[in-house]
Amino acid sequence: MDARRESEPTPMTNHTTVERKSERELVIKRTFYAPARIVFEAWTKPELLKRWWVPKSAGLSLLSCEMDVRVGGRYRLEFGHEASKSMAFFGKYIEVTPHSRLVWTNEESDDGPVTTVTFEETSGKTLLVLHELYPSKGALDVAIAGMEDGMPESFAQLDELLVALSARH
Amino acid sequence: MVQCRSTRFDAPFAALSDATRRGVLEQLGRADASITDLAEKFHMTLTGMQKHVGVLEQAGLVTTEKVGRVRTCKLGLRRLEEEAAWIEGYRQLWDARFDELDKVVEELKRKEKVDGRKKRK
């Protein structure tokens, strides 16, 4: 299968997968048509990361991006429409192995995961695996229930429905 | 920080304004149960528990099935569907991010080629 794929031209679109691997883990995968050193560079230089971390479709902009990519070094990313209403994501790098592995903490909440990104190069392509390990099943459940923009809204609607229903009884 | 944390924790249960119904969901998360079991566990009348289960059922959080004279309750599909929907939303976020990353990577690749040629000269 791989041999066949290599003879084909590089596809313009590529597939991202997300899987809940266990009660505490999410795994995201994608292949990039470039050597690991290039993909790694795009993850570790703030001026490059800035260009792709916040997709245009998210409707947000990255206000600041500070990254001290070395073991024990800290990072801080701020998003928002304006500085007064920004959201910050921060933590520190706990493992930095050039071109193959990055591990960092997410400290904006006590239930933040530890993120591990690995870059595996095979014949010029790089399989990127991003692994998020949450401190508990509850922490991942809560992230799932609360993180997606649509979710709090749907819960709020459900809440209203339940209040209405219980008033009727 | 404390405030932010409790909001996040409450989110899944904000759906439920009633402590008994929250308890019922937690109970059903551990194991399916009959209405009689639930009524006993929560020290309620059968009718009282039927009402609570009815509210949860209408909200899609619980499904019930009557076998013989026993009505068994289990967690509804809504929970699972919500998780699947969230995972798909998260996948789309990363997919959009990675499409942008692809562009950066392509640019770096081109630059490396050009620089490589310059070095050889």
Residues in chain A closer than 8 A to B87 (CB atoms): 18-20, 26, 144
Q: Is A90 on the interface with B (CB under 8 A)?
A: no
Q: Which two tokens stand for residue B33?
A: 């149960």
- How open is the CA angle B9-B13-B19, to the nearest 5 degrees? 115
Say how many C-beta atoms besides its own lie within 10 A of residue A115's C-beta: 18
Instruction: Tell me how many residue pairs between chain A and chain B have CB atoms under 8 A apart.
Output: 138
Mean pLDDT of B48-77: 86
pLDDT at A154 over 50: no
**Phi/psi-derived region of residue A45, left when phi > 0, alpha when psi is between -120 and 50, beta in every other case:** beta
Pairwise CB contact (< 8 Å): A146 & B11: yes
Q: What tens digit of pLDDT does each residue of A86-115 get?
A: 788 999 999 999 999 999 999 988 889 999
Chain A residues with beta carbon closer than 8 angstroms to that of B100: 51-52, 55-56
Among the partner-chain residues B15, B18, B105, the one whose CB lies closest to the CB of A32 is B105
Pairwise CB contact (< 8 Å): B108 & A48? yes
pTM above 0.95, yes or no: no
If asked whether residues B16 and B69 sit together in one domain, one would say yes
Beta-carbon separation of A166 and B16 below 8 A: no
Contacts for B46 with CB less than 8 Å, ≥ 6 apart: B35, B36, B39
Is B39 a residue whose pLDDT tops 50?
Answer: yes
Q: Which residues of chain B neighbour A58 with C-beta distances below 8 Å?
A: 93, 96
Q: Structural domain of residue B91, as residue ranges?
A: 77-121
User: What would the pLDDT profile of A17-47 be if each residue is shown by its tens digit?
Assistant: 999 898 899 999 999 999 999 999 999 999 9
Residue B120's pLDDT is 65
Which helix or strand (DSSP H or E) is residue B76 part of?
A: none
The one-letter amino acid at B4: C
**A 105-124: CB under 8 A from B:** 109-111
Residue A127's H or E segment, with its range, is strand A125-133
Residue A11 banded pLDDT, cuts 50, 70, 90 = very low
Q: Which amino acid is at A148?
A: E
- Band of residue A156 on the pLDDT scale cut at 50, 70, 90: very low
Residues 6+ apart with CB under 8 A from B97: A52, A53, A54, A55
Residues B47 and B90 in one domain: no
The whole-angstrom distance between B5's CA and the closest CA on chain A is 7
Same domain as B56, residue B31? yes
Distance in angstroms (rounded) separating the CA atoms of residues B12 and B67? 30
pLDDT at residue number B16: 62
| Confidence grade of residue A61 (pLDDT, cut at 50, 70, 90) | confident
Same domain, B114 and B94: yes
d(CA A115, CA B21): 35
Interface touch A30/B18, C-beta < 8 Å? no
* Residue B95 and residue B49 in one domain: no
- Per-residue pLDDT, A2: 46
Give the pLDDT band (50/70/90) at residue B106. Answer: very high
Residues B71, B98, single domain; the answer is no
Residues B13 and B49 in one domain: yes
What pLDDT score does A4 carry? 46
Whether residues B88 and B63 fall in one domain: no
Residue A150 confidence (pLDDT) above 60? no
Q: Best interface-test mutation with A: which of B79, B86, B106 has the largest number of A CBs within 10 A? A: B86
Nearest CA in chain B to A165: B55
User: CATH code at B52?
Assistant: 1.10.10.10
- Burial level of A54, CB count in 10 A (0-12/13-18/19+)? buried
Domain co-membership, B10 together with B51 = yes
Q: Are residues B56 and B85 in the same domain?
A: no
The domain boundary, picked from B57, B75, B93, lies at B75
B100 and B45 both lie in a single domain: no
Please state the three-class secondary structure of A41-84 as a single string.
Answer: HHHHCHHHHHHHCCCHHHCCEEEEEEECCCCCCEEEEEEECCHH
> Looking at the 3D structure of chain B, how many domains does it have?
2
Q: CB–CB of B12 and A146 under 8 A?
A: yes
Beta bridge partners of A141: none
Task: State residue A17's pLDDT score.
Answer: 94
* pLDDT at position B11 over 90: no
Q: Tell me: the pLDDT tens digits for A62-90? A: 889 999 999 999 999 988 776 667 788 99
* Contact assignment for B11 to A16 by CB distance below 8 Å: no
How confident is the prediction for chain B on average, in pLDDT?
Answer: 80
Residue B24 sits in the same domain as residue B68: yes
Mean pLDDT of chain A: 81
Query: Can you give the pLDDT at residue A163?
Result: 52
